[in-house]
């Protein structure tokens, strides 16, 4: 297993390097130019000279490939993602600080998704074609059909009209007031989580139905097991193997979703950082965010693969 993990991690290296090239180039393709922006912002006459000066100061006068190798070199050797073009704060620091918040939001969303999806999916399968099953499935379709930003907007708007309550716009960090902080994260996490739970729930239901038909489930009944043990011990694990794949596939969507939620609920995560950076053409931050997100997605995929090993002995012993 260890050797397998190491092999998988090494296999990530070329993928990551390729990702870094793509990220570096595409970011520079964003229309608009940071130097124009700086010049207008600071009301400096766009003389040729000031332009050249700024370019040289930021290192943009070098050819693209030189810039890339400088950047990736610093990333690989020092974990240094460069400095913000505007604030000269180290990007690594900025990104890591924001990553924790986004990671927390994503993890909460995932937990909520699983807490909703797994029991509901299993229940729907066990009570196939009963009222409970229909209610569960309708809930899933509803969650899937309503976009997250719409749900978020409704939550922003209606409670304030009806009860004069609105989500806070002042972000409380965890260390200042843990409860208040969690309460703040809960609504966006729930919006993301329920959306994610829809697909996961339907997959859980389908796989449970499939598994409950299997011969080994009949064996479990024939041994005298009750429904709880049949489902929890004998069926769920087998049904979860394909469900894990679906969860893994949704991870990038989840990251996309957090960007939107951070924007709406003013949560200072990577999403908000990215949006600010894009509007200012702050290239090092944009590349930094993309690179970290890329690494995160690859690691999530690796985790998904490793969890197959936990669930399926055939993979573990292969």
Partner 1 sequence: MAGSMTSPLLQVRGLTVQFRTDRGFVNAVDSVSLNVDAGETLAVVGESGSGKSVTALSLLRLVPSPQGRIVAGEVIFDGQDLLTLDDRQMRAVRGNRIAMIFQEPMSSLNPTLTMGLQVAEPFSIHDGTPWAAALGKAKTLLDRVRIPDSGARLAAYPHQFSGGMRQRVMIAMALACRPRMIIADEPTTALDVTVQAQILDLLKELTQETRSALILITHDLGVVARYADRVCVMYAGRIVETGTARDIYERASHPYTRALMASIPRLDRDTATRLEPIEGYPPSLAQLPPGCAFHPRCRFAADPCGRRVPMLEKIGERHHRACFVDAAV
Site for partner 1 in 231-260 (CB under 8 A): 233-234, 237-238
The yes or no reply on residue 221 touching partner 1 (CB under 8 A) is yes
| 95/211 with CB nearer partner 1 | 211
Q: Which residues have C-beta within 8 Å of that of residue 235, sequence separation ≥ 6?
A: 122, 208, 211, 212, 217
Angle 283-311/236-265 helices, nearest 10 degrees?
Answer: 160
- Minimum separation from the CB atom of position 200 to partner 1 (A): 19
- Minimum separation from the CB atom of position 277 to partner 1 (A): 46
- Minimum separation from the CB atom of position 250 to partner 1 (A): 23
Query: Distance of alpha carbon 2 from its chain centroid, rounded?
Result: 26
- On whether the CB atoms of residues 109 and 189 are closer than 8 A, the answer is yes
| 144/225 with CB nearer partner 1 | 225
Stretch that binds partner 1, among 69-77, 99-107, 192-200, 217-225 (CB under 8 A): 217-225
Site for partner 1 in 89-128 (CB under 8 A): none
The yes or no reply on residue 302 touching partner 1 (CB under 8 A) is no
The yes or no reply on residue 163 touching partner 1 (CB under 8 A) is no
| Of residues 205, 212, 203, the one with CA closest to residue 242 | 203
- Minimum separation from the CB atom of position 228 to partner 1 (A): 11
| 20/238 with CB nearer partner 1 | 238
Q: Which residues pair with 83 in a beta bridge?
A: 90
The yes or no reply on residue 62 touching partner 1 (CB under 8 A) is no
Phi, psi of 259 (to 5 degrees): -55, -45
The yes or no reply on residue 229 touching partner 1 (CB under 8 A) is yes
- Minimum separation from the CB atom of position 12 to partner 1 (A): 28
The yes or no reply on residue 313 touching partner 1 (CB under 8 A) is yes
CA–CA separation, 217 vs 239, rounded Å? 12
Interacting residue with partner 1 among 9, 219, 294, 303 (CB under 8 A) = 219
Interacting residue with partner 1 among 62, 65, 127, 218 (CB under 8 A) = 218
DSSP state of 30: S
Interacting residue with partner 1 among 225, 266, 295, 304 (CB under 8 A) = 225
| 3/318 with CB nearer partner 1 | 318
Stretch that binds partner 1, among 118-126, 156-164, 224-232, 286-294 (CB under 8 A): 224-232
CA–CA separation, 129 vs 117, rounded Å? 18
| Number of residues in contact with partner 1 under rule CB under 8 A | 22
> How many other CB atoms sit within 10 Å of the CB of residue 62?
13
CA–CA separation, 188 vs 171, rounded Å? 13
Joined tokens for residue 310: 């936990």
Joined tokens for residue 100: 């924790």
Work out whether the CA dihedral 151, 155, 157, 158 comes out positive or negative. positive
- On whether the CB atoms of residues 269 and 105 are closer than 8 A, the answer is yes
Note every long-range contact of 279-282, with CB atoms under 8 Å and residues 24 or more positions apart, other chains counting.
280/34, 280/37, 280/85, 280/86, 281/30, 281/32, 281/33, 281/34, 281/37, 281/85, 282/34, 282/84, 282/85, 282/86
Site for partner 1 in 197-216 (CB under 8 A): 214-216
The yes or no reply on residue 1 touching partner 1 (CB under 8 A) is no
- Minimum separation from the CB atom of position 107 to partner 1 (A): 26
* Residues of the shown chain interacting with partner 1 in the complex, contacts defined by CB under 8 A: 214-216, 218-226, 229, 233-234, 237-238, 311-314, 317
């Amino acid at each position: 297993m260890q050797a397998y993990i190491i092999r998988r991690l090494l296999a990530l290296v070329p993928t990551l390097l390729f990702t870094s090239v793509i990220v570096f180039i595409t970011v520079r393709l964003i229309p608009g130019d940071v130097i124009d922006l700086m010049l207008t912002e600071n009301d400096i006459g766009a003389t040729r000279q000031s332009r050249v000066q700024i370019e040289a100061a930021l290192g943009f006068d070098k050819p693209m490939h030189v810039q890339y190798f400088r950047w990736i070199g610093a990333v690989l050797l020092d974990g240094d993602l460069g400095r913000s073009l505007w604030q000269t704060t180290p990007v690594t620091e900025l990104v890591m600080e924001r990553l924790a918040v986004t990671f927390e939001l994503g993890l909460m969303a995932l937990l909520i998704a699983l807490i909703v999806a797994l029991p509901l999916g299993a229940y729907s399968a066990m009570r196939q074609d009963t009222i409970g099953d229909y209610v569960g499935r309708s809930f899933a379709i509803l969650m899937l059909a309503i976009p997250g930003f719409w749900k978020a907007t409704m939550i922003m708007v209606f409670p304030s009209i009806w009860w004069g309550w609105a989500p806070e716009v002042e972000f409380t960090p965890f260390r200042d007031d843990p409860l208040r902080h969690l309460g703040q994260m809960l609504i966006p996490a729930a919006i993301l989580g329920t959306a994610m739970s829809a697909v996961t729930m339907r997959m859980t239901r389908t796989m449970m139905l499939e598994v409950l038909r299997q011969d080994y489930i009949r064996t479990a009944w024939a041994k005298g097991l009750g429904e709880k043990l049949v489902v929890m011990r004998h069926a769920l694990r087998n049904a979860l193997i394909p469900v894990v794949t679906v969860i893994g596939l949704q991870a990038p969507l989840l990251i996309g979703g957090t960007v939107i939620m951070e924007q709406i609920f003013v949560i200072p995560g990577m999403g908000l950082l990215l949006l600010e950076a894009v509007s200012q053409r702050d290239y090092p931050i944009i590349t930094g965010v993309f690179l970290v997100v890329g690494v995160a997605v690859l690691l999530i995929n690796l985790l998904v693969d490793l969890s197959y090993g936990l669930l399926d002995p055939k993979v573990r012993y292969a």
